[in-house]
Structure 1
């Protein structure tokens, strides 16, 4: 059975609209980007969630951000074991090759991946405990964050775990020798953010004050 098909008509229509307007009006800029390569100042690690739109939040143009997305915006600990490491490879490329100055981890409200971790760790999602669950094994990265949750309602603890997903990722980033070296030499700064999708608010984490509104 054939499984590779033409682009859906509505997406093709949007593409042609973009090509005739945005691209046509900025053709020289796109050609310059293509010829000069990318020189982003920042890398953003965000969730795959379709509601999280990094470039819209920051009003960014092409070439400004090196963006990596995965379930629940997680970074695994440094572990060069020869297996597949999409997130670790993206971090390595951003820090060692692109020489970004800022590395931002962006979490968000109502994260399905974080909710899955919460229910798995609470013993209410046995399907995620199965060794064959890609989501479950990926969410194992966040277990240390679950263990740090304060007492409270499920809703409050879920929000807290969303914010822990950012902190766990920042902690894991510092286990990468090249990230640690770049931070200590002040060539790289790490940032943790949490976005409330419904309210449109953004909170930033600092070691001194915790999460505060931007």
Structure 2
């Protein structure tokens, strides 16, 4: 396991961060093209909403998984955390934009729906949690906020929980997919509970010290 982790870390160090931004951005125009050409079914707007929202949730989960991967398996993807976080916001913004401009099509209706439908209220709350995270995902904010920056970025946990609830509430009837995503979010949040180091033991032993308690 240690050899595999070392090999993965060597590969990760060779990947430029800009390439991660590019790779994660590619599905945005691709899904839009699919919607224009009929590749998203009879209701391309709903299809586009679904794919953008699903990718935002996937990236939230990927961001939450970085710390367990490092602590438990010794795989360090910390250098990509900012790219994943920024692209999470981009997908969430695309999801919201498609819903507001192409689906609802009216400012008064937008706010009426948000206030009337609980799953939209939850979704909007999750998006608002991402706004300060995206706004402070830069070196200047890190220097300016100091220790407060890490506390602010714990909003990621709230955003992930709300996004999972939004997906669950949106689903009609029993569907496995939203349950799987909700389970992943729940597991990654439970991992962060203070359980006396129960989850910290990895291939390198008790992997973290007080100065390494990342989010």
Q: Same fold (TM over 0.5)?
A: no
Query: Higher relative contact order at CA 8 Å, sep ≥6: structure 1 or structure 2?
Result: 2
Question: When the two structures are superposed, what TM-score results if normalisation uses the length of structure 1?
Answer: 0.28
* TM-score, normalising length: structure 2: 0.28
Higher strand proportion:
1
Tell me which protein shows more helix as a share of its residues. Answer: 2
